[in-house]
Structure 1
Amino acid sequence: MSTPYALPHPGLNARQVETVERLFAATEALLDEMPYDELTIRLIAARAGLSPATAYTYFSSKDHLFATLYWRLVATAEGPELAGDPRERLRQVVRWIAALVGASPALATAANKSLLGGDPAVAELRLAIGRHFVGLFAEALGEDARPGLVRTLEYVLTGAMVEAGAGIVAFDDLAEELVAAVDIVTG
């Protein structure tokens, strides 16, 4: 399985790139106006000034669109500056992740729901996002990056993201919740 691209990707012509960007902009605007459950490809396409058929040319579902937009956010963000011992570097990583998703809670919440869905187009994105975060954990741990520890940190992050997306934990509290979890796991 290949790593998904962060759209727009090479191979799209300028007009196609503009179309995808319009869909992304419309999605972000609508996410600030209404909840995930009320959004449809039809509404997003209309906001972008496109037909639903055009939107479906690029995205198989709204979940595919939200997950792709989230992947783009994650894949293109400049990673955290890491300094200190492995535990401190892990704290820096989870604070960075919390700040990244907390900057756009509506997108994070929609992506959370989308990534948990069954759309086959989303499965590859879900794996890529997970690999990205696991890579950050492994980098932070350096030579202390035991597979079991990295996997446990992945579980902690996944659970925290689900709780934040479900409104159980506020996105504003996510960083400190994750830091506390890192301290317990590495303590």
Structure 2
Amino acid sequence: MSSSAVQLPTAATRRHLSDRQAKTVHKLTEAAVVELIEVGYPALTVRTVAKRAGVAPATAYTYFGSKEHLVAEVFWRRFEAQEVPPTDRRRSPAARATDVLLGFALVVADETEVAAAVTVAMLADDPEVRELRSRIGLLLHQRLSEALGDDASAAAISTLELAISGALLQVGTGHLAYGAIPDLLAQVSALVLKDPR
């Protein structure tokens, strides 16, 4: 699939936000990170995040119907905001793919509590989380497609997407350390893209 075929949703998850509403959502997502670091995911609630952000709980719930939605939004905002360096076609397709996959995998790697929360939240059966998963998947697909261009088939890109999802799930379940991800993704990219390394 070419990158021009990927259409990213541009509206906010629930609706278009005014500047004031966008600032409120920003305050809530920033407060959620602080709350996660201080109390962890099990103790986090939309109500406690609202209090930390100085926002009325009823207002917070108009934007985030669940803590899973709030935490998924934190991940989405960070992933979307990443600065993506220009593609260097002199580098091998596997190296370019690894860069994109690492950008995705390491979004919250330095924040243990946030990373653990994201793993749980992203698996929630919540319509708002499903929408965010879709956006995140489309953006990852777009970035891989742009980095690889004609150097990878649609099947290879899908395989890389499955590999990164599986790696992050293994991290979330404690079967893989974040520190092992860079080498693992480099190996998977080389294998999928037939790069002898």
Place the TM-score, normalised by the shorter chain, in its bin: 0.7 to 0.9
Counterpart CA distance in 2 for 1:177 and 1:88 is: 12
More helix by share: 1
Q: Which residue of 1 aligns with 2:4?
A: none
Q: Which residue of 2 aligns with 1:36?
A: 41
Equivalent of 2:186 in 172, 179, 185: 179
Q: Among 51, 60, 69, which residue is 2:56 paired with?
A: 51
Q: How many residues are treated as equivalent by the alignment?
A: 185
What residue ranges of structure 2 are gaps of 5+ in the alignment? 1-6
Query: What's the counterpart of residue 111 of structure 1?
Result: 118
**Residue identity (%):** 35
Out of 115, 121, 125, the residue aligned to residue 128 of structure 2 is: 121
Letter matched to residue 117 of structure 1: A
Residue-by-residue CA offset, 1:50-96 (whole Å, 9 max, x unaligned): 33211101111111111111111011111144321212211222233
Q: Is the 8 A contact 2:105 2:164 kept in 1?
A: no
Closer, same or farther in 2 for the Cα pair 1:6/1:179, shift >3 Å?
Answer: farther
Q: Scaled by the length of structure 1, what TM-score is found?
A: 0.87
Letter in 1 for 2:117: A
- Of 159-168 and 116-125, deviating more is 159-168
Structure 2 matches for 1:125-136, cutoff 5 A? 125-136=132-143
Per the alignment, do residues 105 and 136 of structure 1 end up closer, same or farther by CA in structure 2, a change over 3 Å counting? farther
1:91 aligns with 2:109: no
- The answer to whether the 8 Å contact 1:94/1:179 transfers is no
Indicate the structure whose relative CO is greater, using CA pairs within 8 Å and at least 6 residues apart: 2
CA contact (8 A) 1:134 1:154 kept: yes
Query: Following the alignment from structure 1 to structure 2, what is the Cα–Cα distance between the partners of residues 166 and 96?
Result: 20
Say if 1:50 and 1:169 are closer, same or farther in 2 by CA, change over 3 A.
Answer: same
* Structure 1 counterpart SS, 2:65: coil
Q: Is the partner of 2:124 in helix, strand or coil? A: coil
Q: How far apart are the structure 2 equivalents of 1:180 and 1:105?
A: 25
How far off is 1:24 after superposition?
1.5
How far, CA to CA, are the matches of 1:186 and 1:22 in structure 2? 42
C-alpha offsets along residues 6-52 of structure 1, whole Å, 9 cap, x if unaligned? 68x963242x2332222112101011122212211121112222332
1:61-100 to structure 2, matched below 5 A, reads: 61-83=66-88, 84-100=91-107
Runs of 4+ with deviation above 6 angstroms = none
Cα gap change, 1:86/1:55 in structure 2, threshold over 3 Å: closer, same or farther?
same
